[in-house]
Structure 1
Amino acid sequence: MKNKLSTLVVALFLFGIGLHAQEIKKETTRINQYGQEVDAVPLKTEAQDGFIKWFSEDGNYKMWMDNRVQLDGYMFSNDALNELGNGFMIRRMRFAIKAEFWKNWYGEIDLDFESSATEIKDAYLKYTPDSKKWDFKAGHFKEGYGMETTTTSRYLLFMERSFASTFDPSRHLGFQVNSYGKKLLLIGGVHFNTVGDAEEVEFTKDANKDNGKDEGYSLTGRAVWTPINNTTRLLHVGAAATYRTPKTHWEDGAYRISTRSHSAVNRKKFLDTDDISGVDNVFGYTFELAGKYNGFMFQGEYKEHNVNMIEGVDASFKGYYAQAAYLLRGGNHNYNTKEGEFTRITPGSDKGDVELALRYDYIDLNDFDASIYGGSAEGYSVGLNYYVNPNIKFMANYVYHNHDRYADGKGKLFVGKDADGNLTKDWSNVYDADGKGGDDYGQFSIRLEVNF
């Protein structure tokens, strides 16, 4: 009798385990919208410094939103030669979804809705092996060129990047390999067209449809060495180069360099080479030097940009910037070794931190031998940033611009006064005792930024 009872108890126990296993299977197996049976993994939810993140317990699946809104306001001095309109704008309104899945894979979609227009920023897939020593990217993303340009706008020291950043290629379709060690970062990629700006995409489609033109390609590489890199100290030395063939997203097939003067509210482009036709290739390079010591940081780059022609005289342009900042409440500037750039600060108090920043930048788009008069300019910038918490940031900038007489926006802007004291848009008519000319003015700007 006891043996039969024991057998019955064991049978019931095993039966219970079987039922429990079936229940577990029911809880972890689902039918998707296409009628297929799929495995389901429970996810946890956390607010990590104000950013909502979903992740599995084993860490193989993660998803989070990375959104950003920047509200900017600008006021210009009234001594400018040209009318500059004060105003406010949404500088960036970014919506991004990022995910890690199957342990080694990462995907990202990032869109911008600035000025009520939709633009694709990042859209790519990345594979990282178990060794974590390298990764491979494919899609639309920033090329590995220019420390300031590769730094996300969320962590910029000033509201707008330097003049010289206009030389940097930014986002394009392509493939890229990143190799990173304890002190050395190597980046190499092949890149093609851009899909971000609607106008550029239209140029590409028309060139293909009307003339059957190839889209062109670019080869870009970067190397960064950090002999000193710890919590309070950093020394960063880097260099990058890019070789670029003509792209079909160039309007009418002509290459052109132009940039606004530290403002998206002021739409005037004083600096503009105008269209350069008959380009065989473009070769650019940049040198980087950066570092930190406790709450102090500095960063600078020197860039040259060479436009090589099929026939005629080649053109060469250059630019550079140097900037420094200090956290007044004892915070620390953090550094991302896998990207070779500064990232989010660590504040020095529970009430955030305040940062004082200075910058000098310069660009020269004149090449007199090639008969290109794109203008040159220098900017003197002072910034004050208040990091309220990981999500909220206030910025205030003052920039004084010093343009030369050739910075006339392709002959559309005033660059000085003639011998009779009248404003002129012709640089050759400028009457100035020192022979300089150009529209020089100051601007004050503020930003409210929220990241979530």
Structure 2
Amino acid sequence: MNSKWILMTMAVAGSMVWMAQPVWGQELAKERADLYFQEGKLNFETKNKAFRMKLDNRIYTDLSFYLPTVSVDGLTSKPNKDMEEDDGKFRFDNGVSIRRARFAIKAELYEKWFAEFDLDFAYNEVEIKDMFLGYKFNEHISVQAGHFKEPMSMERLTSSRYLTANERPMPVEMFAGGRRLGAAVTAWGNHWWLSGGVFGQQVDILQKEKNRGSDGYGFTGRVGLSPVDKDEWTVHLGGYASYRTPDALGVEDRLVEFRTFPESRTDRRRFVRAEIPNVSHYVTYGLEAAVRWNKLLAYGEYTFTNLSRYHLENEQKIGLRNAEFNGWYATASYMILGEQRRYMPEDAEFAPVYQRRKGGCLEASARASYVNLNDFHEISSPITGGSAYAYSANLNWFPVPNVMLGLNYTFMDNDKYADDKGHITKDGKALSEVMPDGLDFHILQLRLMLSF
């Protein structure tokens, strides 16, 4: 791991331990606790309000059908090594999947400390999501360290419970960070929000491997402004930036892989995908804008990524022209029944769906998104990871605050290079040769979400 990362993490951890000293000695004191439900979540809270623990569990079940616009007969796919038998014929995975199965505990300790432990059991695997410890200097400034989301993208930071579509848009999944080991400071006021930190690797099985080399490191920050935030309407403007070096992953010359699902997860194939070797570092920038007016919410983002890379010649590093990728999305949501999501200044995002009437909330939304993973600036070393447009329409019904039934339609318009990093072929030929218009398809999805 990079020495800068070690020193910064130790400094943050040390300061947090120092701040804890005044409350040591209170561990043996017993406090009576109340048991109650708030927003459908089970809470335990002591009488003196010094300790609180809350369960935050979620189950998402998806039923998905994929309908290609052209015949896929004759197409082959890289065999799945985890299956006992796989003939290599291309086929979509229609059916039911457990998209998320989350078990989470959130805690507040000694009034100033907070922590979270969040696991996902989807696809019969255990994956660490959030696992961090934090300290609140006051109601508007906090610091935290552990494994959590980098401060990038309003859509990325918004909980999956409050998304308008089944999945986040492709450019957010591909470029806007995710959860990593790190430390960050966050501050906010009534009309502004600011967060920044240093981050290492994602928690991954590679961390158990020997000789994998040092983790990459990165610096990420986001700012959000809400010049107007009233009952009837809200305006949000924001931006984020991230500088990152790749992880070693057992090789001397580091590589980066960018990839995204086609806004559906039942079929586990990523059509837009590229593995880029010899990357020294890369930078991602993003812009956000949102407007809420009564029952209408419209928002979107644009993201841009620039990679610095090289090639080896006689064991010497020769610089190449920087590669550039980009993407965007635009979403519109109208709450037919019930109230639209409210703006949360402490998170600079739109979150809860409020229900004040029988019959719950009924929402209709639409989204267009685009991602481009092709780059031809360096003709000697082009990158053809593919590009795609996605157009979706959604109808979400919240009969009660903790249950959601969603109906989603998506059309995927892929270019000829969107071939899952060369894994989709025909007669040994690349998809770009045999299907120059790309492999396009429709997706029909039904979702049941339970949060408790």
TM-score over 0.5 (shorter chain):
yes
Q: How does 1:358-437 map to 2 (within 5 A)?
A: 358-370=366-378, 371-413=382-424, 425-428=430-433, 430=435, 437=437
Q: How does 1:204-353 map to 2 (within 5 A)?
A: 204-206=207-209, 209-210=210-211, 213-249=213-249, 253-273=254-274, 275-310=275-310, 311-347=319-355, 349-353=357-361
Secondary structure at 1:297 match in 2: strand
* Cα distance in 2 for residues equivalent to 1:326 and 1:250: 49
Which has the higher mean CA deviation after the structures are superposed, 80-89 or 50-59?
80-89
TM-aligned CA deviation for residue 85 of structure 1: 2.4
2:51 is matched with which residue?
61
TM-aligned CA deviation for residue 59 of structure 1: 1.8
* Cα distance in 1 for residues equivalent to 2:27 and 2:151: 41
Matched, 1:171 2:172: no
Unaligned runs of 5+ in 1: 1-35, 416-421, 431-435
TM-aligned CA deviation for residue 214 of structure 1: 2.2
Secondary structure at 1:362 match in 2: strand
The amino acid across from 1:427 in the alignment is S
Secondary structure at 1:369 match in 2: coil
TM-aligned CA deviation for residue 159 of structure 1: 0.6
The amino acid across from 1:372 in the alignment is I
**Measured at CA, do residues 144 and 49 of structure 1 come closer, stay the same or move farther in structure 2, by a change above 3 Å?**
same
Q: Which of 167, 178, 189 matches 1:160?
A: 167
TM-aligned CA deviation for residue 98 of structure 1: 0.7
Deviations 1:380-416 (A, max 9, x none): 100000011111111110001111111122222259x
1:192 is matched with which residue?
200
Asked which structure has the greater RCO (Cα within 8 Å, sep 6+), the reply is 2
Q: Which of 146, 149, 153 matches 1:146?
A: 153
Deviations 1:193-223 (A, max 9, x none): 111x43xxx2x443xx326x32121000011
* Alpha-carbon contact 2:141-2:185 (below 8 Å) kept: yes
Give the % identical residues: 33
Higher share in helix = 1
* Alpha-carbon contact 2:211-2:250 (below 8 Å) kept: no
2:133 is matched with which residue?
125
**Measured at CA, do residues 264 and 146 of structure 1 come closer, stay the same or move farther in structure 2, by a change above 3 Å?**
same
Unaligned runs of 5+ in 2: 1-25, 73-90, 311-318
* Alpha-carbon contact 1:81-1:439 (below 8 Å) kept: no
* Cα distance in 1 for residues equivalent to 2:396 and 2:185: 34
Higher Cα Rg: structure 1 or 2? 1
Which has the higher mean CA deviation after the structures are superposed, 245-254 or 394-403?
245-254
TM-aligned CA deviation for residue 272 of structure 1: 1.1
TM-aligned CA deviation for residue 447 of structure 1: 0.6
* Alpha-carbon contact 2:193-2:225 (below 8 Å) kept: yes
* Cα distance in 2 for residues equivalent to 1:37 and 1:168: 40
**Measured at CA, do residues 269 and 251 of structure 1 come closer, stay the same or move farther in structure 2, by a change above 3 Å?**
farther
Give TM-score scaled by structure 1 length: 0.84
**Measured at CA, do residues 320 and 65 of structure 1 come closer, stay the same or move farther in structure 2, by a change above 3 Å?**
same
1:439 is matched with which residue?
439
TM-aligned CA deviation for residue 451 of structure 1: 0.3
Which has the higher mean CA deviation after the structures are superposed, 299-308 or 247-256?
247-256
Aligned alpha-carbon RMSD (Å): 2.0
* Cα distance in 1 for residues equivalent to 2:159 and 2:190: 22
TM-aligned CA deviation for residue 338 of structure 1: 1.4
